[in-house]
Amino acid sequence: MTSGEHSGFAAKATLDVDVFMSYEKETSHPDFIPSVLGLITEPGLKLLDVGGASGVFLNEIMTAAGVPIEATNLEYMGEYGPKQVSDQIQFIEGSILESGIPDASYDLVTFRHILHHLVADTVKETLANQQHALGEMLRVVKP
């Protein structure tokens, strides 16, 4: 398997960066943002957004948080790196299936729009990818 591939996973075939950026800017998550903001209890919390594209969601959280936070975007599509909407967002190009992020690195981990992209050759492999991704998110968040 090459870097970024896991059980037949080929995310680049499922997204066009420019099309998704247009979609990302036109949609918001008004119900999701207050839920995340309610978890930001002190300055300096580290937030990882998995599959955060150009960072629109992270930027909305940083703007509304009221306290400084460290925002990181783990995104498979490296083309989003130079397109981050804020220079305050750290961009990591990589897959949640093989992120290399150390255990318990983040206070909060969020994700949207990713599980349905973890498609493999069979349903069993797809479910294994999705379970692995969820396990990785639990692994990198602090207990």
**pLDDT given for residue 124 in this prediction:** 95
Phi and psi, residue 77, nearest 5°:
-85, 100
Give me the residues paired with residue 126 across strands. Answer: none
Write the DSSP string, 111-125. E-S-GGG---SSHHH
What pLDDT, in 10s, does the model give residues 53-101?
A: 999 999 999 999 999 999 999 999 999 999 999 999 999 999 999 999 9
Handedness of CA 75, 119, 136, 32 (dihedral sign): positive
Would you say the pTM of this structure is higher than 0.75? yes
Spatial contact of 98 and 6, defined as CB atoms under 8 Å apart: yes
**pLDDT given for residue 4 in this prediction:** 45
What pLDDT, in 10s, does the model give residues 14-62?
A: 566 666 666 565 555 567 888 899 999 999 999 999 999 999 999 999 9
- Neighbouring residues of 106: CB distance < 8 A, sequence distance ≥ 6: 46, 47, 48, 72, 140, 141, 142
**pLDDT given for residue 94 in this prediction:** 96
**pLDDT given for residue 77 in this prediction:** 93
